[in-house]
Structure 1
Amino acid sequence: MPNNNKELTLSAPLSGPVLTLTNVPDAVFASGAMGDGIAIDPLNDTLYAPCDGEVIHVARTGHAVTLRADNGAELLLHLGLDTVELQGDGFFMLVKEGTRVSNGQALLRYDLDKVAQRCKSLVSLLVITNGEHFQARPITLKGVKVGEPLLHVVPRAPGAGQLDDLEVGIEVSGQIRIAHRGGLHARPAALVRQTARGFKSRSQLHFGGRSASCDSVMGMMGLAITEQAEVHVSCRGSDAEAALQALLASLSTALAEEAHSRAPQVLTTRHAAEEGVLHGVCAAPGLASGPLVRLDGIQLPKDPGGHNVEEQRQRLLDALAQVSQDIQLTLENAKARRHVDEQAIFSAHLALLEDPALLDAAYLSIEQGSAAAHAWSRSIDVQCQVLRQLQSMLLAERANDLHDLRQRVLRALLGEAWQFEVPAGAIVVAQELTPSDLLQLCAQGVAGVCMAEGGATSHVAILARGKGLPCLVALGDALLEQLPGQSVVLDADGGRLELTPSAERLAQVRQAQSQRAALRAQQQTLAHAPARTLDGVDVEVAANVASSAEAGQAFANGADGVGLLRTEFLFVDRHTAPNEQEQRQAYQAVLDAMGDRPVIIRTIDVGGDKQLDYLPLPAEANPVLGLRGIRLGQVRPELLDQQLRALLQIRPLHRCRILLPMVTEVAELLHIRQRIDVLGAQMGLEQRPQVGVMIEVPAAALLAEQLAEHADFLSIGTNDLSQYTLAMDRDHAGLAARVDALHPALLRLIAQTCAGAARHGRWAGVCGALASDPLATPVLIGLGVRELSVSPPQVGEIKDRVRRLDTAQCRRVSTDLLNLPSAAAVRQACHQHWPLG
């Protein structure tokens, strides 16, 4: 049985000169992403065991073997660099997995001349892959012969009870296909780390013949795991089985915010040379003008070295603690405002700030005499190099998150003010801005941002879109040569930064901005008035909200009610389910925020791409076709009953309307109605709230007439209805642009839903994203929709759109649209019949 308390001396497995990992000509090994260890440039043709132990992995191509030493240290012995590409030619493995070996026993032989001529380098590695429990201390950095002392392996201080847990625990493993769009980049890796830390067991990911601890975000990112790749997960400890299931679920479930953070469709085009114009990629749309202001990153002077190790180590510790506290405040602020994208981004930053690959590299540099600032900066630069060499554009963009941490920690170390003063209305240019920079710039009222580097899927781009801030990226180094103070025009929609706009052009942009602002102000003054068409048909314009704070915003913006309260906000980001009292208070707060207006509350809709830590669900090959919505209530009725009891306690009850998600047949509706009657009787209630059905699967739309017989209203969720009807995942990078709810097939289902509702005197509304699209407003009204639930800031705009329409004309045109061949044809027709602006 392994004894993790024991130190271990490893003997040289090869003869030759010794190198530290930082001198290995391979960015992944040099960065420590694979683990701590040592390297040898071999002079002999046989690899020997450095200690007693068990062979736990043999590379399929025969170039590497992993041992577990008797003290539990797991040792990867990797012969040469990029030797996996030789596909085993020239290698002869002498042991098998499960073999017990002795110190000095031959493990593999290789044809020294053949391998040396065909591989990148013969430099070979001895790496501790479970470095969260052990650290390596070199004995010598001179040449060694096989069997000579090479490395001390020293256990790190374990957490309380951790040692015993690993000793008595079992080891389990499983395979899963990565569901995260773009693969295992920073945010999903941080989620995996968070999941792993909830268990006592030690967990690792294995991919492409390499392994990484689930405790290291950088280590997992260094595996370069792509979307839909199959990975191997292993867990060891007393709760290994539970840890494994949780990790498999985490890896196989796309992040909820990915649906909201999708980058706009970008078409790469070659622009003809145009004097005075720089071309880039639109990361966030918009038009703006203003003086150009440049932001530069921190540049460090040359480090003379020879610093006091303990003093520099403490300085870095203090700076890290300060930055961690700052990020935690940003994270809490984002959570309070229910900004899902910001939460995900800064949670990942917090995880990176604690990453052992970053910290160990920085502390090692300090021990070698570097100043804390230079050690931290060097550690970040090495990891950025790793990400950029992984041949993944998405991972290369994630290096920007590391730059953010570099700047924040350096400011804390050097005493530079975190704040930078930028005048309101400026167009900010930089090599590459960080998420923290962007939040501060938004608070200072800048008009737009431009970056020489960056990408449309970067975290900065996601935040810019969420803030409505025009943003261009990938403009090139010429951007940084521009003189500050000059007036420029940022046309993000056209991918252009106009450096020498004429006075007429500047006036044109200012006029367009003024007209837009005036129109918004005019719409807002009438936002509280009813939305009535030219021929006298009333259309209710409600708001989609996820908290009482958003409900208050909706009320202030003139919403006629809440068309969709997503109750998931109460259930996510916590370790236990909210109790009945907590739910009742939250729902009551939303009703109170809406004055005397109705509130539609959707019962919990998790499962699919929305998972709960305390409600483990089996990993599903197609989560969006599995246990989600009302189906979850069928397998966990106590969860739904608790929510229904909380809803029945709201006062006044007549303003509360209950909405059921993912209904596919009448029996599901009747069952919930019966449960509400039973619970209401138990609580002594004489009144019952209205109950509606979400139409978000084609089956529900086709059965709309039957459902309307027993429902009080129907609410169409166009987001899910689109992907289920078109058989296209709306989060799929290659298909997302084609998932358009104005597709004629969707319009036919909406028309059938409205007709089915009307036959029983019920109303039909739309609470999906299509309701917020002004181009779609006349189509929906023409098909019979009488309630539109939109994002709170758009209430005034959509009401203004309704007031300019004639229902009869909308009906005639919309009927013709059902016969068009595509969504693009529908949109073109809408622009012709009901132009925007």
Structure 2
Amino acid sequence: MTLTIASPLRGWATPLCEVPDPVFAQGMMGPGIAIDPAEGRLVSPGAGRVVSVHPAGHAVTLELDAGPVLLMHVGLDTVGLGGAGFAPEVMAGERVEAGQVLIVFDLDRLARTARSLLTPVIVTNGEAFAFVGGKTDREIAAGAALMTLEACGKASAAGAKEAAPRTSRSLLLPLAHGLHARPAARLASLAGTFPGTLEMVAVDGRVASMRSAVAMLALGVGHGETLTLRGSDIAAIDAIAELIESGMGEHRPVTVGEPAGRVVPSALAPLLPLGEGEALAAVTAVAGAAIGPAVWLVDPLASLPETAGTREAEAAALDGAIAQIRTRLESAAGGHGQVAQIAAAHLVLLGDPELREAARGGIAAGLPAGRAWIAGVDGFIAQLRLSPDPRLRERVNDLADLARRVALASAGIDETPPPLPPGAILLADDLYPSQLMALADGGLGGVVTVEGGATSHVAIIAAGLGLPMLVAAGERLKSIPQGAALLLEKGALTHAPAADVLAAARARIEAAQSRRRAAAAHAQAPAMTRDGVRIEVFANLASAADAGAAVAAGAEGCGLLRSEFLFLDRAAAPSLTEQREVYSAISAALEGRPLIVRTLDIGADKPAPYLPMSGEENPALGLRGIRLQLAAPDLLDVQLRALVTMEAQGPVQIMLPMVSEIAELRAARAALEQIAAEEERPCPPLGIMIETPAAALHAGVLAAEADFFSVGSNDLAQYTLARDRTNPHVAAGLDALHPAILHLIQIAQIGASRHGRLVGLCGGLGADPEAIPLLIGLGVRELSVSAGSAAQTKALIRSLTLEQCGTMAEAALGLPDAAAVRALVRAELGKIVEEVA
């Protein structure tokens, strides 16, 4: 009898021998065909029964009604994801029909985390069904014919004649990812070399033949779980046990008393409490470490009145609340720094007439003032959530914060949170700027939120406070009880860490604090390598307050003034007078130190509401930076005129963002020279940012006309590696220490040196300790970092020699990836620390 098996995926059919894994390619699991998926849905190829679903959610085994047993394994090495990105729709023992969804998976996530997306579809009961063939190297639809089988009629009766088991051995499974396809295939292959009965018994009594990889997979044995091997041949049991205990390349020690490490699919993870000693990974919004008790934020919004008074009374309460919050915001906006800028943005939102009109409609419908205001704001929030722009979606928090503050004020409820215990780690579904500011002086140790974004306003405030913060931790965070001991470190939150773990973390934190104190004590000293090479350490700034803090922290100037802070979150562009005053104030705060101003870099992830821009499918590749400035010459003219005529107390230089062609530099220089002539002022030096591969590769030509270069490592990495840094699906793989980016920096430096131009760097790489020696070795002589990193950056430079940096850089250029580069630098820095000590 001939059977046709349908494809469980839409994608590209590929011969099994081309799968880059010998377990599948050599047929150890059985014959079949692989599919490179084009969508994230695995469906049943026919009617049958689910034999097993792997605990990590990446593989499912079906027994079709017609008899074939099929293993479908989504991607390679996907067991290591621990269920992240997979959502099984069926359970073992469940009846399924053809076309029914078995697993939903995140195709984008797998593309950046899995070794391969190729999905083998394997016939595991080859004794009963022979693989006839199937057409490959073609596009195939889910449900279309994939392969043909021939029924053999060879039911294996060997087991009935084999001797009964007479020996057994129990052990703890040391495989880091549990018993999955690759180790199961190796065990079955080994078992096939011995005669007699060989069985694996799970701790709950379920039994599987060790001659069948699929049967063992169905047991779902996880790391640290007890399993028993039994059979009729002692030598066979010992050999199989030895192979298991070797770890087969996946060994992870099992600690006595450690809970079994059964992997839980991500779709189920929120339902399980976070165990003691378990770490919850999240997105780092502000790097750092903290140890302290868990404190859940309680928002008083729940106590808003449910019933309304008269319409007149509620309208008066709303007007009074808006006036009260406006007064507070105006006071904050009159200050300096990020808090003032955020308050100014909230003032713009508060003055929106449509928000007030929506709230009045709610009052007319019988709602109390606070709830009417929230309902009105929620309508606008719903619209923002649909925006494809991640920065606009993050403004949802600003509106929600405003809604909360006005609503509480309308009911006369105090929004000040209760005092916190010292070093508390604040937990919340999400957090708003006003809430964090109210807690800023309360001895807070860190913040972790269920939701949130790394570039939100509350994250900006946390960074300004030097407060470690994790966001997007997920629903499992809610299982942590009030008062629980927590460790926040390295992008994860550990619940109730063991005493030795806590002690080691505390030692690391204290050592880091000691290094920071030592660096701060010498913050004002110049950064000079041990062999006498001067490296300038500047600061990235956005305000006069930032400049003052940077000078106090040891910064030797400003290597990047993000002038767009003046242009965003406002209804109209800043005037010539306003810009001139702000730039002058920043120069004054630098006390004669150099100031490098980047002309407004807006567009893409930084939109300006007063500058209408048509929607772009790829805004990062569209009208942004110098392109937008040249397309809006009036905007550029005002900014250049303000920079030419400002009251400078130190050297001022102008830097153009996103330059990729010499024509862009020439057009901007012509405009600058004309303005300088009109104002009868000297023309400031004009440099460019190296942010595109084109600029780096063409550096020799650009350096002939640019006065200096500054590498923008964030964008250079984004464009070189083709990873949108605002896209959470791909941004995790963005590392500017990739050798390809180091090569581009080297090329830019060589081009600059031909014309005697200085190369600086003002991206996030400048403060990365593992990048600093490489950048110096590649010829970078100016690093611009956050003010808080200046002293430690200087301290590290003083421990290095130019020869060491050059040797590391040369070696790094020949490595395969960023991970290898970082491993090299860590090893070499360890030797240098010992040498200096």
TM-score class, shorter: 0.5 to 0.7
For the residues of structure 2 that align with 1:517 and 1:540, how far apart are their CA atoms? 24
Distance 1:345 1:728, change over 3 A: farther
The separation in 2 between residues aligned to 1:302 and 1:601, in whole angstroms, is 47
- 2:322 corresponds to which residue? 321
Are residue 692 (structure 1) and residue 687 (structure 2) matched? Answer: yes
**Corresponding residue number in structure 1 for 2:717:** 722
Q: Displacement, 1:778?
A: 0.8
Measured in 1, the distance between the counterparts of 2:724 and 2:691 equals 14
1:441 to partner: Cα distance: 1.8
Report what 1:469 is aligned to: 468
1:326–1:507 distance in 2 versus 1, CA, 3 Å: farther
Cα displacement string for residues 52-77 of structure 1 (whole angstroms, at most 9, x for unaligned residues)? xxxxxxxxxxxxxxxxxxxxxxxxxx
Residue matched to 2:773: 778
Contact 2:311 2:364 (8 Å CA) reproduced: no
Is 2:589 aligned against 1:588?
Answer: no
For residues 481 and 425 of structure 2, the distance between their equivalents in structure 1, rounded to whole angstroms, comes to: 13
CA 1:320–1:801 in structure 2 vs 1: closer, same or farther (change >3 Å)? same
TM-score with structure 2 length normalisation? 0.57
Q: Counterparts in 2 of 1:453-492, with a 5 A limit?
A: 454=451, 464=462, 467=465, 468-471=467-470, 473-474=473-474, 476=476, 479=479, 481-482=481-482, 484=483, 488-492=485-489
**1:624 aligned residue:** 620
Structure 2 distance, partners of 1:804, 1:717, is: 25
Query: Displacement of 1:722 after TM fit?
Result: 2.0
**Residues 766 and 496 of structure 1, relative CA distance in 2, 3 Å threshold:** closer
Task: Please tell me the residue identity of whatever aligns with 2:468.
Answer: L
Question: How far is 1:704 from its partner?
Answer: 1.3
Q: How does 1:817-828 map to 2 (within 5 A)?
A: 817-828=812-823
Aligned partner letter, 1:282: A
In structure 2, relative to structure 1, the CA distance for the partners of 1:322 and 1:695 (3 Å cut) is same
Alignment of 1:4-83 (within 5 A): none
Q: Which amino acid aligns with 1:290?
A: G
Distance 2:799 2:606 in 1: 39
Is 1:554 paired with 2:538? Answer: no
SS at match of 1:531: coil
Q: Match for residue 337 of structure 1?
A: 338
Work out whether residues 359 and 374 of structure 2, in 8 Å CA contact, stay in contact via their aligned partners in 1.
no
Q: Within 2, Cα distance between the matches of 1:389 and 1:672?
A: 37
Alignment match, 1:446: 444
TM-score normalized by the length of structure 1: 0.57
- Give the alignment of 1:139-288 within 5 angstroms: 276-277=276-277, 280-284=280-284, 285-288=287-290
Find the partner of 1:526 among 522, 527, 551. 522
Alpha-carbon distance in structure 1 between the residues aligned to 2:816 and 2:566: 42
The residue number in structure 2 matching 1:666 is 662
Unaligned runs of at least 5 residues, structure 1: 1-265
CA contact 1:543–1:790 (8 Å) conserved in 2: yes
Task: Give the Å deviation of 1:694.
Answer: 1.8
| TM-aligned CA distance change 1:273 to 1:658, over 3 Å | closer
Match of 1:532, SS state, is coil
- Secondary structure of the residue aligned to 1:541 is strand
SS of residue matched to 2:438: helix
* Aligned-pair identity (%): 37
1:193 aligned residue:
none
Question: Measured at CA, do residues 834 and 325 of structure 1 come closer, stay the same or move farther in structure 2, by a change above 3 Å?
Answer: same
> Counterparts of 1:595 and 1:382 in 2: how far apart (Å)?
46
Measure the CA separation in 2 of the matches of 1:513 and 1:765. 31
Deviation digits for residues 195-217 of structure 1, max 9, x if unmatched? xxxxxxxxxxxxxxxxxxxxxxx
Aligned to 2:782: 787
Q: 1:682 to 1:731 in 2, by over 3 A?
A: same
- Residues of 2 paired with 1:654 and 1:329: CA distance? 32
Amino acid at match of 1:519: R
**Per-residue CA distance 1:393-443 (angstroms, 9 max, x = gap):** x99999987875675456435544332331462425566354132221223
| Aligned mate of 1:419, from 416, 433, 440 | 416
Whether 2:496 is the aligned partner of 1:495: answer: no
- Choose 711-720 or 742-751, whichever is displaced more: 711-720
Letter matched to residue 487 of structure 2: L
Quote the offset at 1:710 in angstroms: 2.8
Whole-Å separation in 1 of the counterparts to 2:304 and 2:702: 73
Residue pair 1:293, 1:422 contacting (<8 A) in 2 also: no
Give the superposition deviation at 1:538: 0.8
Pairwise CA distance, 1:782: 0.8
For 2:685 and 2:374, locate their aligned partners in 1 and report how far apart those are by CA, in whole Å: 62
One-letter amino acid of the counterpart of residue 534, structure 1: R
Partner AA of 2:783 in structure 1: L
The change in CA–CA distance for 1:428 and 1:404 in structure 2 (over 3 A counts) is farther
Superposed, 1:632-643 pairs within 5 Å as 632-643=628-639
Change (3 A) 1:515 1:415: same
- Shift in Å, 1:448: 2.7
Look up the SS of the partner of 1:354 in the other structure. helix
Summarize the Cα distance change of 1:725–1:331 in structure 2 as closer, same or farther, 3 Å threshold. Answer: farther
Distance in 1 (CA, whole Å) between partners of 2:330 and 2:732 is 36
Deviations 1:230-289 (A, max 9, x none): xxxxxxxxxxxxxxxxxxxxxxxxxxxxxxxxxxxx999969988644654535454323
Question: Who is 2:136 aligned against?
Answer: none
* 1:427 alignment partner AA: A
Q: Map residues 726-737 of structure 1 onto 2, 5 A cutoff.
A: 726-737=721-732
Question: How many equivalent pairs are there?
Answer: 559
Question: What is aligned with 2:257?
Answer: none
Mapped partners of 2:417, 2:428: distance in 1 = 16
Q: Determine the C-alpha separation between the residues in 2 that align with 1:315 and 1:602.
A: 46
Query: Cα distance, 1:754 vs. partner?
Result: 0.7
**Residues 339 and 764 (structure 1), Cα distance of their counterparts in 2 relative to 1, 3 Å cut:** farther
For 1:552 and 1:697, how far apart are their aligned partners in 2?
32
Aligned to 1:354: 355
Matched, 1:745 2:740: yes
Are the structure 2 counterparts of residues 714 and 450 from structure 1 closer, same or farther at C-alpha, using a change threshold of 3 Å?
closer
Whether the aligned pair in 2 keeps the contact of 1:561 and 1:599 (CA below 8 Å) is yes
Matched position secondary structure for 2:422: coil
Distance 1:584 1:433, change over 3 A: closer
Q: Which runs of 5+ in 2 are unaligned?
A: 1-264
SS in 1 for 2:554: coil
Kept in 2, the 8 Å contact 1:422–1:446? The answer is: no
AA aligned to 1:440 is: A
Partner of 1:6: none
Displacement after TM superposition at 1:353 (Å): 9.8
Deviation at 1:357, TM superposition (A): 5.7
1:617 shift after superposition: 4.4
Give the counterpart of 1:803 among 789, 798, 801: 798
Q: Distance in 1 between matches of 2:374 and 2:622?
A: 46
- Show the counterpart of 1:432: 429
Residues in 1 aligned to 2:575 and 2:377: alpha-carbon distance in whole angstroms: 47
Partners of 1:357 and 1:334 in 2: CA distance: 31
CA change 1:522–1:333 in 2 (3 A) is farther
Q: Which residues of 2 match residues 506-525 of structure 1 at below 5 A?
A: 508-525=504-521
CA distance in 2, matches of 1:626, 1:813: 37
